[in-house]
Amino acid sequence: MELRRIKRNGGFTLIELLIVIAIIGILASILIPNLLDAMQKAKQKRTVADMRLTGTAMFAWLTDQTGAAAAGAATTLVTMSDYKAITYANLRNLLIPLYMQEIPERDGWKTPFNFYLDPANPKAKQLMAIQSGGRDSSAPAATYSVTSFDPTDYDQDIVWTDGYFVRWPQK
């Protein structure tokens, strides 16, 4: 009689194991989407921070070239064809090591930034811009209206021009 009791109490029943697996599955289904969203938000924030730092270095270069720089033009529409593209290598030659130690080449989603700067014409009205295609790395838009977007829409482009963000994540 005592031998039977020891055998029955020696392990977990199938129902107990299934309940534990179900609880773990429920917890995972709650936590995994939140983890994925947090990872995308971190990439987005890194992209914005990199753009802000590079833009500040570009402004420091401009100040040295022209004596002073004005920022934050009052506009509601930005046309990217007004800006002259610059290669990453040429931007590095302008900004490193005097204004930055290293320029981020890629955004948080590992897609190359689009840089715009016209070193030959530092007094141009539309002089400098940085563009990220967002998570979907879509082709850059031709024009942008100046506005924020929902920070959970990771496919939106993030654009910095002439001292201010044209497209940025914000609620």
Helix (H, G, I), strand (E, B) or coil at 122: coil
Q: 72 vs 125, which has greater pLDDT? A: 125
**φ/ψ (deg, to 5) at 159:** -135, 130
- Say how far apart CA 90 and CA 107 lie, in whole Å: 18
Q: How many domains does the chain have?
A: 1
- Say how far apart CA 116 and CA 127 lie, in whole Å: 7
Helix (H, G, I), strand (E, B) or coil at 112: strand
Q: Model confidence at 69, in pLDDT bands (50, 70, 90)?
A: low
Q: Is pLDDT of 162 > 90?
A: no
Q: Model confidence at 124, in pLDDT bands (50, 70, 90)?
A: confident
pLDDT digits 0-9 by tens, 43-57: 999 999 999 999 889
Domain range holding 134? 2-169
Task: Look at the block and give the residue holding tokens 């141009």.
Answer: 124
Interacting residues of 73 by C-beta distance below 8 A, sequence separation 6+? 125, 162, 163, 164
- Say how far apart CA 17 and CA 168 lie, in whole Å: 48
**φ/ψ (deg, to 5) at 79:** -105, 120
